[in-house]
Amino acid sequence: MSRPDHMDVAAYALGVLDEQDTERFEEHLATCWACAAELETMVPVVGLLSDIDGETMMALEQTATDPALLDRTLGAVRADRRRTRFRQMLATAAAVVVFGGLTGYGFVNVTDSEPSPGVLAESTPSAPSDPTTSGPTAPPSGPGVGGTEEEGDQVEATDPTTGVQTTMFLVKREYGTRINFSLRKLPGPRTCRLVVVRKNGSTEVVSSWSVPNEGYGTNARPQGLELSASTSALAEEIKQLQVQSVDAAGVASPLVTVPL
């Protein structure tokens, strides 16, 4: 090129470069974000210029010496722009109607579908689970831990050895019991699980999750962890709830126990 690549954006947009310079500029354009951005701003202007023919240019030159002709020209331009905008509005409305008719079924399916709950802990298949929202939040101050608005029987415990703290809400359901719980002073990294111990001696793992290096409710991460799980056991059948740490070999050790 006879000029630096960055100076050929306008010439390229107007199509005045020869074939060799066009190919060379397109190679430059593929790696230059500044020229690409400048070219994008020129596209509307080039589109407007492409609509101006020779007769229009001659008429515009005559308006410089004929004020009356200038007024008539401006009036015609404004009227043409109004007609153009009206046609664009009609085309847009028609496109919306057609698009809505073709995709309406898809919209219904999307809006009617149940959202996938972003729950860290998975409930056991024996008991249905309600959609909940879980994740690190501030320590709970009342009912609603784990994303529900239902009140439940609140129990708290702090393990004297590990220092792990928990607050749990037991919500009675037709299928069993919903357990909304929070954990604090929980160090990581580790894998944890929530175990339901029934009064008849049987146990059930109702939830499991991973704890990152910084833990939850610690100096590194002050926010506690809130989770929800379900069990088929009725509240009066539960003897205790226990949060356990599980090592790589699958051996579990208690972190905090909540007697009921």
| List of domains in the chain | 5-110 (no CATH), 135-259 (2.60.40)
Query: Cα(first)–Cα(last) distance of the chain, in Å?
Result: 84
Average pLDDT over residues 236-247: 96
pLDDT band at 4 (very low <50, low <70, confident <90, very high): low
Q: Above 90 in pLDDT, residue 148?
A: no
pLDDT band at 18 (very low <50, low <70, confident <90, very high): confident
Q: Decide: pTM greater than 0.75.
A: no
| pLDDT tens-digit series, residues 123-143 | 444 444 444 444 444 444 444
| pLDDT tens-digit series, residues 59-114 | 655 655 556 655 665 666 566 656 666 565 555 555 444 444 444 444 444 444 44
